[in-house]
Amino acid sequence: MFDLCLNALAIRGRLIVIGMISQYQGEHGWKPKNYPGLVEKLLTKSQSVAGFFLPQYSYLWKEHLARQFDLYSSGKLKVAIDPKRFLGLHSVPDAVEHLHSGRSSGKVVVCIDPTFEQQMAKL
């Protein structure tokens, strides 16, 4: 995915690297990759690549989480929920596999409490 995004990047474009979910399932875990020619490619188009690691912005969470909650509560923020349902704690591995498969669309939800299914239907 990184290569695809980099090749589509505009002149003076900035690519933000947020996660590496495609690397999570490797047999030996995450393996750093070598990108020969990356510096030259970025330089010739005045492009940049920046990493974003959420825990380094934890001081902003409270403010922005409150704002997101207000937007969601008022109906101004819609959250896409993947249509595939997972019920019970035992289904967590299947839900994680679904998330890593690339077939998910929106938030993958595992309903732990079977009585909560009615609330899930409203999502």
Q: Tell whether 42 and 15 lie within a shared domain.
A: yes
Supply 119's token pair. 């609330």
Q: Tell whether 13 and 54 lie within a shared domain.
A: yes
Average pLDDT over residues 111-118: 76
Check residue 98 and give its pLDDT.
94
How far is Cα of residue 121 from the mean position of the Cα atoms in its chain?
23
Q: Tell whether 55 and 14 lie within a shared domain.
A: yes
Instruction: Name the more confident of 38 and 100.
Output: 38
Answer whether residue 21 shows pLDDT above 80: no
Domain coverage including residue 98: 79-123
- What's the pTM? 0.57
What are the tens digits of pLDDT across the range 26-64?
666 667 778 899 999 999 999 999 999 889 999 999 999
Supply 116's token pair. 């909560």
Q: Tell whether 61 and 89 lie within a shared domain.
A: no
Parallel, antiparallel or unpaired: strands 86-87 and 110-111: parallel
Answer whether residue 123 shows pLDDT above 80: no
- The CATH code of the domain that includes 27 is 3.40.50.720
Q: Tell whether 9 and 52 lie within a shared domain.
A: yes
How far is Cα of residue 33 from the mean position of the Cα atoms in its chain?
20
Instruction: Name the more confident of 79 and 114.
Output: 79
Q: Tell whether 57 and 89 lie within a shared domain.
A: no
